[in-house]
A and B are shown apart, each in its own frame.
Chain A
Amino acid sequence: MSKPENKPDAGKVFLEEVTRPPVNERVRGWQRVGRVMLVPALAVVTGLLLGAVLIILTSEPVWGAFRVSLGSGLVTAWNTIVQAYTALFTGALGDPVRIVQAFQSGDALEIRRALNPIPESLVNATPYIFAGLAVALGFRSGLFNIGVEGQLFMGAAAATYVGYAVKGLPGFIHMPLAFLAGALGGAAWGFIPGWLKAKTGGHEVINTIMMNWIAFRLTEWLLGGPMTRPGSGGLPISPIIEKSAEIPQFFPAPIRFHLGFFIALGMAWLVHWLLFKTTWGFDLRTVGANPNAARYAGMNITRNIILAMTLSGALAGMAGANQVLAVNRSMALGLSPGYGFDSIALALLGNSTPVGVILSSLLFGALRNGATRMELLRIPNDIVSIIQALILVFVAAPAIIRTIYRVKVPKEAEEVVFVGSWGGGNK
């Protein structure tokens, strides 16, 4: 569909691609780490600061104190913020005082409770890693997979079905089987928009948005109908999965830390290996970075688009499978608080690299976990979504960060994703 006058000279472009030194060879070592981390770090700080402003503005005690006097207003505002972010921090990483007291008391349950925040943050980070990898893999291949949420739901539904309907298998077969079913469910949901993009040119953003809503309706029907829990009275909830399908948790309650976290890390390593160490990955990245050059070099664009969307969908499906098999043990409609959409912010924060995705997932997981402690202070946990949206703004537009902090942002940090536009989508 791209018009001839827009097409850059493919040969020239390809030569430029080949001769340009890879990003990671220009600057080395810690200096490079610093440069790469600068914008994301400032984005997170700015997001948290603006979150603090919102907390102050919506706090009734602060308003009351300002009516008394300016001084008491400022003091109350400061205290509110300190309390809120202390709660966020201890909720995410644990309260040192409580941990010390727990060890002194020697009560095993109390020790587990006091230590729980960190493993719980990891539990929260796990679906983010899968979903973030899904988005990042798409970005690297020049595709905007905004359908991770829907793929996650389909993956969860498939994993749930295998989890409760297949009976009598030993755990070491049943659990991987259910997990694989989840990956396949997500892969199928990613394959369709990929195929449509490659064959008809229908833009993957529109198609994945539509597929999201089809997935929501489909799972709603499945959970209320064919997959409903007997005796639930038509409530949209699935039966509980078999013991053999569960992803094992390592510690007794209330610690829910489970094997899924390590599967997620393994997937991150696999995605890294696929993208950066194999010919397939090289093809995917070249198609993503410069489809014209890829075509000129004889790469199969159609196959790569379908492959990228299918793999991306599979990773998203794993996020859903992980939640069902390791955490919830059954499927309900409240399965995801928006992992699929948050993961877009997360993938960008991590510059669409697997390591970056892991780090940002840990951050997002900690935020989400810590926010439950903030709820006790009457600060709704939706504050996390707001902070995540703000972080996304600053990561996507480093120029804003540059203006606020008067820092030099290196050009390479600005290499955000290049995705085909709506109109010229089928480039």
Chain B
Amino acid sequence: MATIVVHRKWEAVSPTRQRVIGFVELGSALIMLLVFTLKVQPGQVATFVMTPGGLTQGMAGNWVVPAFSTLMALTVVNFLLGLAQLVRGFGRWTNAVLGVVVAFFVFSFLTWATAGKSLNLLGMLSAAVLLAVPIILGAFSGVLCERAGVVNIAIEGMMLMAAMVGALVGSVTKNMWVGLLAAVASSVLLAWVHAVLSIKYKINQIISGTVINIFSTGMTSYLSSKFLQSYQELNNPPIFPRVPIPLLADIPIIGPLFFNTNLFVYLVFLLLIILQVALFTTRWGLRLRSVGEHPKAADTLGINVFATRYMAVLLGGVVAGIGGAFFTLGSVGRFDEMMTAGKGFIGLAAMIFGNWTPLGAFFAGLLFGFTDSVATKLTILGTGIPIQFMAMAPYITTMVVLAGLVGRGQMPAADGTPYEKE
């Protein structure tokens, strides 16, 4: 198959950026030294429980780490990496090294917080995976739309609507599959409205997205207070059960995390592979991206710009619908007003942080889910850091990325611009 691959290279690392990142990494080492390492008592150990509660497969022993020496070692490594970054830089590995530094920083933080106590690390990680599901699906929805040149800030609204419809239909039919299907259908309907308004009527795509967000908020709250609150039987859908995958579920740590959960996590992986492959190695993906980068050129070559954009937005609606259904059919089993609580916007953030690629969005989503999960544990560990500050992290990260401080993402060139056929 003759496929033209469009290479998107990261900008060369500028000397300023190299220095900024170097100082950030050195700063992390300094914080680790002053705030974490020097504050633990000598001889304290941090106990990480590596078995999530209620499972019998994929058991693993506890990790018991000596707090001081672990922290000291990580601090030294981060210091050396930061120094190397400052002096000569890592070139194209800059971001990977930064990732390692951040990971070490987070682990130090956990070790410091757990010193002298015990923390169910695997429980926290598996909570993080579940928290990440709607974020990642929202981000995938965004990637699909924006790669085709249609900005979608209506992910939140689509997910909210899908969550409610999923709960309602799931409860009425007492069938979670029908509920899921209805949830997806409702989200696709909203996506269709977004497509018609922004592609056919060419209204500002952000206004169109705002319309859908206001409408969904109003509609779900209206129906919820009119029906769901007075008839409890309308708001009691069956939940997708945990389905262990044979053999894989028995692997310690990875098994309980990824192979012994519900359908939605598996769908995330499936979609990740499908989208990443389809967008970047198939003719379909090339066409979709060309419409988002340079619609006029695509049109000249015979690609139907409008049809491609419609398709992308509707597919984005499908993915967002699955993400919305997760709230009611995949985790809580009940619809509450405003229950998406900004997850769609964090999805948007994950899409930007992930540089408009499915793989990037996936990791960004996991990271943001992890932040969420850590935030809920903070109060239990008694670190004195307010939950709200952790909850802000995804938003601040996105703004920093957008400002080009850590490396500027490359958004599709024609993103947000309606196409006028001449």
Contact = CB atoms under 8 A, between A and B. Distances in A.
A184 interface: no
Given A196-B403, A338-B217, A345-B214, A422 B415 contact: yes
Given A214-B392, A396-B208, A419-B204, A389 B416 contact: no
Interface stretch (B70-78, B108-116, B256-264, B345-353): B345-353
Contact of B388 (A144, A201, A217, A396): A217
Contact of B204 (A211, A378, A390, A417): A417
Interface in A107-156: 144, 146
Contacts of A211: 395, 399
A218 interface: yes
Interface of B: 146, 151, 153, 197, 201, 203-208, 210-215, 217-219, 221-223, 225-227, 342, 345-346, 348-349, 352, 386, 388-389, 391-392, 395-396, 398-399, 402-404, 411-417
List 10 A-B pairs, minimum CB-CB distance, nearest first.
A385-B218, A422-B416, A421-B416, A389-B215, A423-B415, A202-B402, A221-B388, A382-B222, A210-B395, A386-B218
Contacts of A389: 211-212, 214-215, 218
B313 to A, nearest CB: 14
| Contact-residue bracket for chain A | 35 or more
Nearest to B293: A423
B398 A206 contact: yes
Contacts of B204: 144, 396, 416-417, 419
Contacts of A392: 207, 210-211, 214
A333 to B, nearest CB: 12
Contact of B151 (A201, A342, A422): A422
Nearest to A380: B225
A397 interface: yes
Given A383-B222, A384-B218, A416-B204, 15 more contacts: A206-B399, A207-B399, A209-B153, A210-B345, A210-B349, A214-B395, A216-B342, A338-B214, A345-B214, A385-B222, A386-B215, A388-B218, A397-B197, A422-B205, A423-B415
A341 B342 CA distance: 14
Nearest to A383: B222
Contacts of A384: 218
Judged by DSSP, the binding face of B is: helix
A424 interface: yes
Interface of A: 3, 54, 58, 144, 146, 196, 200-203, 205-207, 209-211, 213-214, 216-218, 220-221, 225, 338, 341-342, 344-345, 348, 378-380, 382-386, 388-390, 392-393, 396-397, 399-400, 416-417, 419, 421-425
Given A205-B153, A217-B391, A388-B214, A416 B203 contact: yes
B207 A344 contact: yes
B411 A209 contact: no
A382 B207 CA distance: 20
B223 A58 contact: yes
A396 B395 contact: no
Nearest to A419: B204
Nearest to A422: B416
A147 B413 CA distance: 24
A390 B222 CA distance: 15
Contact of A221 (B211, B221, B227, B386): B386
Contact of A214 (B205, B396, B411): B396
A207 B352 CA distance: 11
B201 A423 contact: no
Given A341-B210, A396-B197, A421-B417, A382 B221 contact: yes
B168 to A, nearest CB: 12
13 contacts: A58-B222, A209-B345, A210-B345, A214-B392, A214-B395, A221-B386, A221-B389, A385-B218, A393-B197, A396-B211, A416-B203, A419-B206, A421-B205
